[in-house]
């Protein structure tokens, strides 16, 4: 009997599977999909049926709690189950609290007290001073100190001297803004140049001095920590201006002194004073300023008297070019009218000033080009002297006290906005020779490569000019003028000769 029942149950299943196998693949797929859909629908209905009583039970639980808390009597339908479901009010309160309690607290904004950190306050004595404002710090009143208060110069100008006991200009002593990643600096820089650049860019500022001058803007000088002896010891304490190693701060637009310094070294002239860019929190609203090394040998007498200069007119200058004064160390005749400067120095000066269009030395009255309204030579009476060009006085022809034969290029304010049709060719007038080393850099098209490599060392200057894009624009101007100069050399038959010291 049991065997017959098993056979009876197995026979329909066997017949169903046989018919399923005979169906086409598409029909079999459709049947399987229908079965899966029915199964899924059954599961959804079953789960929904199980969750519905639970939600009703929770709703009754909350309702009973609210009735008890409000003090209202329970409904009539709940009288039969009141005895079994009635819970004390205190238990309801605890239950609600436990339900909303989290195992881990949420970091809600403002609920967790942050860790207390000690803030290091840097006391700045004069944080808001700009380049046109006088220093508003207290002058030292101590006696017997070389940094005391007020000292008077010969022309009545006062030297304001004060020390900075706690000063921070934002520079990190662990890192240098002079970037030299290889073992050696570029070959056009001497070891002394690198030391001076690092001092000007990274030295700790010990003292700030403002030196008012009657005939010129005030000089702002900082004294840095004496890292290495950079200049001769006999020139350090002159004029009571600098007792150690110092730098002159110029916060002019463009930082032309820095570019001029690198161009001078790339061309192999070595006549400018090292200069870098650096930021000071008390000057120029924190923008980069140019810092030039203080050289006391340029001021042998009094600071108010200015540097040691060669006074000569345009006629005397042209005469010295004709006489070839001191060429090959030959003493000139007594009646030749020669100055103390070597003949080759004028050639270096002319080439350098033409590339940067610096006219304040050989053409202070702007007679060789069309000046703009904002140029200094447009002042009343200055440009009118061009009618008598032979008697125009040259300016800023500077040399050191102990070196009367070589020039020093200072106040190198170049102009990059002079068009090619408005260049000052008066700077090249009377020049018959030019230095071979400088001209070879221009002819071999190495000027851009070397200037990029050189200017990259000064990180502060590089960033202040807008990076590579801004530097390329400046070099474009110099390259165009270099091409014009090469054309001028060929057209006028100017000789290119070695001019080594």
CB environment 219-233: b (16+ within 10 A), e (fewer) = bbbbbbeeeeebbee
Q: Is the whole model's pTM more than 0.85, yes or no? A: no
How much is the pLDDT for 84?
A: 43
The C-alpha atoms of residue 297 and residue 349 are separated, in whole angstroms, by: 20
**22 Cβ contact list (under 8 Å, min separation 6):** none
- In the chain, domain spans: 150-497
Tokens of 113: 């007290």
Mean pLDDT by 10 residues, the chain (501 residues): 53 68 79 88 75 51 44 46 44 41 47 50 40 36 35 42 51 77 92 95 90 78 74 55 85 87 98 95 81 88 74 95 89 86 96 97 93 79 79 93 93 91 96 97 96 96 95 97 98 93 62
- The per-residue pLDDT for 30 is 86
Which pLDDT score is estimated for 373?
81
Say what the pLDDT of residue 189 is: 97
Long-range contact pairs involving 382-389 (C-beta distance under 8 Å, separation at least 24): 389/314
In degrees, to the nearest 5, what angle opens at C-alpha 204 toward C-alphas 462 and 466?
Answer: 10
Q: CB atoms < 10 A from the CB of 315, how many? A: 13
As a whole number of Å, the CA-based R_g of the chain is: 44
């Amino acid at each position: 009997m049991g065997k017959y029942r098993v056979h009876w149950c197995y026979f329909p299943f066997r017949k169903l599977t046989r018919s399923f196998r005979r169906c086409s693949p598409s029909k079999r797929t459709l049947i399987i999909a229908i079965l899966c859909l029915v199964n899924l629908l059954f599961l959804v209905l079953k789960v929904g049926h199980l969750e519905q009583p639970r939600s009703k039970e929770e709703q009754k639980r909350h309702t009973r709690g609210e009735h008890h808390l409000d003090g209202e009597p329970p409904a009539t339908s709940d009288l039969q189950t009141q005895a079994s479901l009635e819970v004390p009010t205190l238990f309801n309160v605890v239950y609600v609290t436990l339900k909303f309690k989290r195992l881990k607290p949420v970091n809600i904004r403002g609920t967790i007290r942050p860790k207390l950190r000690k803030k290091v306050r840097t006391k700045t004595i004069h944080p808001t001073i700009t380049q046109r404002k006088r220093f508003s710090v207290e002058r030292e009143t101590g006696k017997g100190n070389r940094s005391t208060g007020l000292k008077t110069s010969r022309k009545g100008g006062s030297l304001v001297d004060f020390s900075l006991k706690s000063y921070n200009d934002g520079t990190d002593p662990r890192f240098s803004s002079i970037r030299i990643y290889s073992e050696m600096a570029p070959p056009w820089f001497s070891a002394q140049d690198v030391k001076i650049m690092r001092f000007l860019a990274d030295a700790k500022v010990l003292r700030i001095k403002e030196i008012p001058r009657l005939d010129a803007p005030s000089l702002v000088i900082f004294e840095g920590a004496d890292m290495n002896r950079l200049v001769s010891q006999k020139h350090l304490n002159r004029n009571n201006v600098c007792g150690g190693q110092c730098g002159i701060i110029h916060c002019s637009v463009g930082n032309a002194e820095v570019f001029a310094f690198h161009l001078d070294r790339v061309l192999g002239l070595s006549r400018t004073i090292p200069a870098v860019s650096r930021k000071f929190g008390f000057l120029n609203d924190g923008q980069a300023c140019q810092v030039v090394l203080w050289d006391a040998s340029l001021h042998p007498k009094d600071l108010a008297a200015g540097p040691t200069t060669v006074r000569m007119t345009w006629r005397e200058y042209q005469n010295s070019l004709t006489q070839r004064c001191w060429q090959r160390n030959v003493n000139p005749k007594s009646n030749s009218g020669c100055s103390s400067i070597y003949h080759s120095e004028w050639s270096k000066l002319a080439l350098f000033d033409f590339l940067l269009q610096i006219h304040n030395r050989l053409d202070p009255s702007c007679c060789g080009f069309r000046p703009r309204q904002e140029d200094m030579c447009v002042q009343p009476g200055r440009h009118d002297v061009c009618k008598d060009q032979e008697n125009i006085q040259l300016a800023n022809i500077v040399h050191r006290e102990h070196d009367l034969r070589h020039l020093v290029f200072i106040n190198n304010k170049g102009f990059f906005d002079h068009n090619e049709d408005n260049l000052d060719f008066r700077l090249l007038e009377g020049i018959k020779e030019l230095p071979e080393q400088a001209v070879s850099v221009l002819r071999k098209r190495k000027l851009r490569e070397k200037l990029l490599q050189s200017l990259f060392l000064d990180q502060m200057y590089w960033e202040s000019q807008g990076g590579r894009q801004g530097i390329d624009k400046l070099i474009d101007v110099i390259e165009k003028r270099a091409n014009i100069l090469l054309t001028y050399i060929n057209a006028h038959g100017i000789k290119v000769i070695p001019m080594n010291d």
